[in-house]
Amino acid sequence: MGKIARFNGGGIVVDLRRRLVRAVGLLAGFAVLAVIGFRLFARVPWLDALYMVVISLSGVGYNEIVDTSRSAGLRVFNMAVLVGGVAAVVYVIALATAVIVEGEFGSLFGRRKMEKRIATFQGHFLVCGAGETGALVVAELGKTGAHASVVDLKRERLDALPDRPTLATIEGDATDLATLERAGLPRAACVVTALPHEKDNLVVTVLVRQKDPSIRIVARHVDPQMADRLRKAGADAAVSPTAIGSMRLASEAVRPHVVSFLDQMLKERAQTVRIEEIRIPEGSPWSGRTLGTLDLRKQWGLTTLALHEGDASYRYGPEAHETLVPGTVLIVLGDVTRITEARAAARERR
């Protein structure tokens, strides 16, 4: 599959560099064999043999210090060194030029392509870090059809991400505000910072919160004390993979069937079933209607698990007579494609 959502110039350059290394190795081996050949066939000192190989490969045209006219075999060997050596040198120069051209112009082309793609994103997710945690975040966003831009210092991590039209990558430092802006920060709906170092996640949180007081920030942490610091710095949520792993272990022991159900839901290949939220905006055609009249199950095959209004607590298993108002959030279970359709219907202006 071609690289749809990001430029793969880094992979091309790596391949060219490998070929260049092999070519240089072959050239060096050829030169060593040529030196040995002159030493044996012409019976000259090692330095004279090396001199003959150098002037042959470089093509400088200096006088030969070995008389090749005294032996037909020696002359044939000298011609083979000239032809093979020059061809090898030209090939190495061509590969070296290709590496330079691909590295410079390819990188510039890739950056421009990504900037154009990100410019089309609106309300997307900005993920800082493409390591083990960040890559899993990106994979889940892809399953739900969300647009995302990913920032990481290492090109190989970005190249390892799955290809899709809704994904763009930026090679750079996520703790640099300019890099975040290149990744579409001003138009992003949420920033997920999953960098390996907690202090870097704290820096990203501070930068993003100062730039946009309303954007949602989700930060990764390991140290329990860092969770409070991240929230004080402006993070809406601080997530610990260690804590989640511990909860998973306990759940496997206490409620194995529930965990099995959730696993099957997340790994289902025929359709992507998720628990998602649908917010009722101002002017929504759903505003003022009851859950019963909407009948989400009949229209979109969705199961309403809970309902949330303002600062009130969640009401689980809401009744059909519940009336929806602007700001109401519905927690539903269903296929992500149908959930997307329902969201669009809820946003339609009357």
Q: Is the pTM of this model over 0.85?
A: no
Q: What token pair was written down for 278?
A: 């649908």
Q: What is the CA angle 161-188-146, rounded to 5? A: 45
- What is the SS3 assignment for 270? coil
Q: Is 183 exposed, middle or buried (0-12, 13-18, 19+ CB in 10 A)?
A: buried
Give the largest Cα separation in the chain, rounded.
109
Which residue(s) pair with 308 in the sheet? 329
Distance CA(242)–CA(331), nearest Å, equals 26
Which residue(s) pair with 169 in the sheet? 150
Domains of the chain by start residue, with CATH = 9-117 (1.10.287.70), 121-245 (3.40.50.720), 272-347 (3.30.70.1450)
Q: Is 160 exposed, middle or buried (0-12, 13-18, 19+ CB in 10 A)?
A: exposed
Distance CA(336)–CA(251), nearest Å, equals 25
CB 274 within 8 A of CB 336: yes
SS (H, E, C) 310-333: CCCCCEECCCCCCECCCCCEEEEE
Helix (H) or strand (E) holding 120: none
pLDDT of residue 349: 62
pLDDT tens track, the chain, 350 positions: 333 333 444 555 556 677 778 888 888 888 888 888 878 777 778 887 888 888 777 766 666 666 666 667 777 777 787 787 778 888 888 877 776 766 555 555 667 777 888 999 999 999 999 999 999 999 999 988 899 999 999 988 998 998 788 999 999 999 999 999 999 999 999 999 999 999 999 999 999 999 999 999 999 999 989 999 999 999 999 999 988 889 989 999 999 998 888 888 877 766 788 899 999 999 899 999 999 999 999 999 999 999 998 777 889 999 999 999 999 999 999 999 999 999 999 987 65
